[in-house]
Amino acid sequence: MSASSDDEPFSQLKRKRNLRLANFQSKINKLQVYLNDQALKNGIFMIQSKLDNVLELCEKIECLKLDYYDITEDEQIGDNDVEFENMEDDLEYLKVSFQKILFQFNTVDNVQMHKSRIPNEVFVKLPEVSLPEFNGNIDNWSNFKAQFDSLITNNSTLNETQKLFYLRLLLKGDAKLVETQEDTFNSLMKELIDRYQNKRLIVSNLILNI
Protein backbone atom coordinates (compact mmCIF):
# COMPACT_ATOMS: atom_id res chain seq x y z
CA MET A 1 0.00 0.00 0.00
CA SER A 2 1.31 3.47 -0.81
CA ALA A 3 1.59 6.37 1.60
CA SER A 4 -1.28 8.14 -0.14
CA SER A 5 -3.71 5.48 1.05
CA ASP A 6 -2.96 6.52 4.63
CA ASP A 7 -4.00 10.10 3.87
CA GLU A 8 -7.15 9.49 1.86
CA PRO A 9 -9.95 6.96 2.16
CA PHE A 10 -9.75 4.29 -0.49
CA SER A 11 -13.19 5.28 -1.79
CA GLN A 12 -11.96 8.80 -2.49
CA LEU A 13 -8.94 7.50 -4.37
CA LYS A 14 -11.19 5.22 -6.37
CA ARG A 15 -13.49 8.13 -7.21
CA LYS A 16 -10.54 10.16 -8.50
CA ARG A 17 -9.38 7.20 -10.51
CA ASN A 18 -12.84 6.81 -12.04
CA LEU A 19 -12.95 10.50 -12.97
CA ARG A 20 -9.61 10.22 -14.73
CA LEU A 21 -10.72 7.07 -16.52
CA ALA A 22 -13.89 8.83 -17.67
CA ASN A 23 -11.79 11.73 -18.94
CA PHE A 24 -9.49 9.36 -20.82
CA GLN A 25 -12.46 7.47 -22.28
CA SER A 26 -13.98 10.74 -23.49
CA LYS A 27 -10.75 11.59 -25.30
CA ILE A 28 -10.59 8.12 -26.81
CA ASN A 29 -14.17 8.48 -28.05
CA LYS A 30 -13.32 11.82 -29.70
CA LEU A 31 -10.31 10.28 -31.40
CA GLN A 32 -12.46 7.40 -32.66
CA VAL A 33 -15.01 9.85 -34.09
CA TYR A 34 -12.21 11.81 -35.74
CA LEU A 35 -10.73 8.64 -37.23
CA ASN A 36 -14.07 7.55 -38.67
CA ASP A 37 -15.34 10.92 -39.90
CA GLN A 38 -12.45 13.28 -40.58
CA ALA A 39 -9.06 11.58 -40.71
CA LEU A 40 -8.91 11.11 -44.47
CA LYS A 41 -10.06 14.69 -45.05
CA ASN A 42 -7.15 16.26 -43.18
CA GLY A 43 -3.44 16.61 -43.81
CA ILE A 44 -0.42 14.83 -42.46
CA PHE A 45 0.23 17.32 -39.65
CA MET A 46 -3.20 16.83 -38.11
CA ILE A 47 -2.91 13.04 -38.34
CA GLN A 48 0.50 13.18 -36.66
CA SER A 49 -0.95 15.38 -33.93
CA LYS A 50 -3.74 12.86 -33.29
CA LEU A 51 -1.21 10.03 -33.19
CA ASP A 52 0.77 11.99 -30.60
CA ASN A 53 -2.43 12.32 -28.56
CA VAL A 54 -2.89 8.56 -28.67
CA LEU A 55 0.66 7.92 -27.50
CA GLU A 56 0.26 10.41 -24.65
CA LEU A 57 -2.95 8.72 -23.54
CA CYS A 58 -1.16 5.37 -23.55
CA GLU A 59 1.47 6.76 -21.18
CA LYS A 60 -1.07 8.38 -18.87
CA ILE A 61 -3.26 5.28 -18.65
CA GLU A 62 -0.22 3.14 -17.87
CA CYS A 63 0.79 5.55 -15.09
CA LEU A 64 -2.74 5.59 -13.69
CA LYS A 65 -2.89 1.80 -13.77
CA LEU A 66 0.38 1.43 -11.88
CA ASP A 67 -0.62 4.05 -9.30
CA TYR A 68 -4.00 2.44 -8.76
CA TYR A 69 -2.61 -1.06 -8.44
CA ASP A 70 -0.19 0.25 -5.85
CA ILE A 71 -3.07 1.10 -3.50
CA THR A 72 -5.43 -1.74 -4.45
CA GLU A 73 -5.69 -5.15 -2.83
CA ASP A 74 -4.91 -8.07 -5.15
CA GLU A 75 -8.46 -9.45 -5.04
CA GLN A 76 -9.87 -6.12 -6.28
CA ILE A 77 -7.61 -5.83 -9.31
CA GLY A 78 -9.47 -8.27 -11.59
CA ASP A 79 -12.45 -6.06 -12.48
CA ASN A 80 -10.26 -3.01 -12.97
CA ASP A 81 -8.01 -4.91 -15.34
CA VAL A 82 -10.90 -5.21 -17.80
CA GLU A 83 -11.41 -1.44 -17.95
CA PHE A 84 -7.74 -0.76 -18.50
CA GLU A 85 -7.43 -3.52 -21.08
CA ASN A 86 -10.40 -2.21 -23.06
CA MET A 87 -8.89 1.27 -23.19
CA GLU A 88 -5.50 -0.11 -24.15
CA ASP A 89 -7.11 -2.14 -26.96
CA ASP A 90 -8.92 0.96 -28.25
CA LEU A 91 -5.72 3.00 -28.14
CA GLU A 92 -3.75 0.29 -29.92
CA TYR A 93 -6.34 0.26 -32.71
CA LEU A 94 -6.20 4.05 -32.97
CA LYS A 95 -2.41 4.04 -33.01
CA VAL A 96 -2.21 1.48 -35.80
CA SER A 97 -4.93 3.26 -37.79
CA PHE A 98 -3.24 6.66 -37.62
CA GLN A 99 0.13 5.12 -38.42
CA LYS A 100 -1.41 3.44 -41.45
CA ILE A 101 -2.85 6.75 -42.67
CA LEU A 102 0.52 8.45 -42.20
CA PHE A 103 2.15 5.68 -44.19
CA GLN A 104 -0.35 6.26 -46.98
CA PHE A 105 0.42 9.96 -46.99
CA ASN A 106 4.12 9.19 -47.24
CA THR A 107 3.78 6.61 -49.99
CA VAL A 108 4.84 7.94 -53.37
CA ASP A 109 1.96 6.20 -55.13
CA ASN A 110 -0.52 8.19 -53.06
CA VAL A 111 1.03 11.64 -53.41
CA GLN A 112 -1.21 12.71 -56.26
CA MET A 113 -4.32 11.27 -54.62
CA HIS A 114 -3.75 13.32 -51.46
CA LYS A 115 -2.28 16.41 -53.07
CA SER A 116 -5.63 18.17 -53.34
CA ARG A 117 -6.32 17.46 -49.67
CA ILE A 118 -3.06 18.88 -48.32
CA PRO A 119 -2.75 22.68 -48.45
CA ASN A 120 0.46 23.96 -49.99
CA GLU A 121 1.24 25.85 -46.80
CA VAL A 122 1.68 22.55 -44.95
CA PHE A 123 5.02 22.14 -46.64
CA VAL A 124 6.79 25.03 -44.97
CA LYS A 125 10.56 25.05 -44.78
CA LEU A 126 11.58 26.36 -41.39
CA PRO A 127 14.83 28.24 -40.83
CA GLU A 128 17.82 25.90 -40.57
CA VAL A 129 18.30 26.30 -36.83
CA SER A 130 17.84 23.85 -33.99
CA LEU A 131 14.36 24.04 -32.52
CA PRO A 132 14.39 24.22 -28.70
CA GLU A 133 12.91 21.47 -26.55
CA PHE A 134 11.23 21.84 -23.16
CA ASN A 135 11.17 19.02 -20.60
CA GLY A 136 9.20 20.71 -17.82
CA ASN A 137 12.14 22.33 -16.02
CA ILE A 138 10.72 25.70 -15.00
CA ASP A 139 14.19 27.29 -15.15
CA ASN A 140 14.26 26.68 -18.91
CA TRP A 141 10.72 27.83 -19.70
CA SER A 142 11.45 31.50 -20.40
CA ASN A 143 14.25 30.69 -22.84
CA PHE A 144 12.21 27.96 -24.55
CA LYS A 145 9.16 30.18 -25.01
CA ALA A 146 11.19 33.08 -26.38
CA GLN A 147 12.82 30.85 -29.00
CA PHE A 148 9.59 29.03 -29.82
CA ASP A 149 7.68 32.29 -30.25
CA SER A 150 10.38 33.63 -32.54
CA LEU A 151 10.54 30.53 -34.73
CA ILE A 152 7.00 29.15 -34.60
CA THR A 153 4.34 31.26 -32.86
CA ASN A 154 5.17 34.43 -34.80
CA ASN A 155 5.79 32.60 -38.07
CA SER A 156 3.02 33.87 -40.36
CA THR A 157 3.57 31.02 -42.82
CA LEU A 158 2.39 28.44 -40.27
CA ASN A 159 -1.25 27.77 -39.46
CA GLU A 160 -2.60 26.77 -36.04
CA THR A 161 -2.46 23.05 -36.80
CA GLN A 162 1.20 23.26 -37.77
CA LYS A 163 2.06 25.30 -34.68
CA LEU A 164 0.33 22.72 -32.49
CA PHE A 165 2.28 19.96 -34.22
CA TYR A 166 5.63 21.65 -33.57
CA LEU A 167 4.71 22.50 -29.97
CA ARG A 168 3.78 18.89 -29.18
CA LEU A 169 6.89 17.69 -30.98
CA LEU A 170 9.17 19.82 -28.79
CA LEU A 171 7.58 19.04 -25.42
CA LYS A 172 9.41 16.33 -23.52
CA GLY A 173 9.27 14.74 -20.07
CA ASP A 174 6.70 16.21 -17.68
CA ALA A 175 5.79 18.97 -20.13
CA LYS A 176 4.60 16.37 -22.64
CA LEU A 177 1.98 15.20 -20.13
CA VAL A 178 0.23 18.58 -19.87
CA GLU A 179 -3.47 18.16 -20.66
CA THR A 180 -5.98 20.58 -22.20
CA GLN A 181 -9.72 20.41 -22.73
CA GLU A 182 -9.38 21.59 -26.33
CA ASP A 183 -6.94 20.12 -28.81
CA THR A 184 -5.69 23.48 -30.12
CA PHE A 185 -2.41 25.36 -30.20
CA ASN A 186 -3.73 28.30 -28.17
CA SER A 187 -5.23 26.12 -25.43
CA LEU A 188 -2.04 24.09 -25.02
CA MET A 189 0.18 27.17 -24.99
CA LYS A 190 -2.10 28.84 -22.42
CA GLU A 191 -1.93 25.77 -20.18
CA LEU A 192 1.86 25.76 -20.41
CA ILE A 193 2.04 29.48 -19.62
CA ASP A 194 -0.31 29.10 -16.65
CA ARG A 195 1.83 26.29 -15.30
CA TYR A 196 5.38 27.39 -16.01
CA GLN A 197 5.01 31.17 -15.73
CA ASN A 198 3.45 30.79 -12.30
CA LYS A 199 5.28 33.41 -10.20
CA ARG A 200 4.73 31.57 -6.94
CA LEU A 201 6.18 28.38 -8.40
CA ILE A 202 9.16 30.27 -9.81
CA VAL A 203 9.91 31.88 -6.45
CA SER A 204 9.53 28.53 -4.69
CA ASN A 205 11.92 26.95 -7.17
CA LEU A 206 14.47 29.71 -6.63
CA ILE A 207 14.30 29.22 -2.86
CA LEU A 208 14.86 25.49 -3.25
CA ASN A 209 17.94 26.16 -5.36
CA ILE A 210 19.54 28.48 -2.80
- For 187, what's the count of Cα atoms within 13 Å in the CB-facing half-sphere? 8
pLDDT for position 96: 86
Domain boundaries, the chain: 12-111, 138-208
How confident is the model over 118-169, as pLDDT tens digits?
444 444 555 555 678 888 888 888 888 988 888 889 888 888 888 888 888 8
Say what the pLDDT of residue 128 is.
52
Burial state string for 13-27 with b = 16 or more CB within 10 A and e = fewer than 16? bbeebeebbeebbeb
Question: What mean pLDDT is predicted for residues 190-197?
Answer: 88
Q: Which residues neighbour 193 within 8 Å (Cβ) at sequence distance 6 or greater?
A: 145
Find how far residue 53's CA is from the centre of its chain. Answer: 4
66-95 confidence digits (pLDDT tens): 877 776 655 555 556 678 888 888 889 998
Predicted pLDDT at 118: 45
* ∠ Cα 172 176 177 (to 5°): 140
User: What percent of the chain stands above pLDDT 70?
Assistant: 69
- Among 11-15, 51-55, 94-98, 177-181, name the one with the lowest average pLDDT: 11-15
Average pLDDT, the chain: 75
What digits encode the pLDDT tens for the residues 100-117?
877 766 653 444 444 444
Which range is least confidently modeled, 80-84, 121-125, 173-177, 197-201?
121-125
- What 3-state DSSP class applies to 9? coil
- Rounded mean pLDDT of 171-182? 84
